[in-house]
Amino acid sequence: MLMNKVEICGVNTSKLPVLKNDVMRKLFKDMQNGDLSAREKIISGNLRLVLSVIQRFTNRGENVDDLFQVGCIGLMKATDNFDLSQNVKFSTYAVPMIIGEIRRYLRDNNPIRVSRSLRDVAYKALQVRDKLVNKNSREPSVTEIAKELNIPREEIVFALDAIQEPISLFEPIYHDGGDPIFVMDQIGDEKNHDVQWLEGIAVREALRKLSEREKKIITLRFFEGKTQMEVAEEIGISQAQVSRLEKGALMHLKKQM
A 10 A CB-CB count for 164 gives 14
Rg (CA), the chain: 31
Q: What is the pLDDT of residue 10?
A: 59
Q: What is the pLDDT of residue 185?
A: 55
The whole-number mean pLDDT for each consecutive block of 10 residues of the chain, a chain of 257 residues, reads 52 70 87 88 88 79 83 91 84 87 78 68 87 86 91 86 64 58 56 54 74 87 84 86 86 76
Q: What is the pLDDT of residue 2?
A: 45
Q: What is the pLDDT of residue 76?
A: 92
| 3-state secondary structure at position 225 | coil
d(CA 30, CA 52): 27
Contacts of 148 (CB under 8 A, 6+ apart): 128, 131, 132
* Residue 158, CA distances (Å) to 7, 52, 153 in order: 40, 30, 9
In the chain, the domains with their CATH numbers are: 1-106 (1.20.120.1810), 110-168 (1.10.10.10), 194-256 (1.10.10.10)
Q: What is the pLDDT of residue 135?
A: 86
d(CA 85, CA 72): 24
CB 101 within 8 A of CB 66: no
Q: What is the pLDDT of residue 244?
A: 86
Q: What is the pLDDT of residue 73?
A: 92
d(CA 235, CA 217): 9
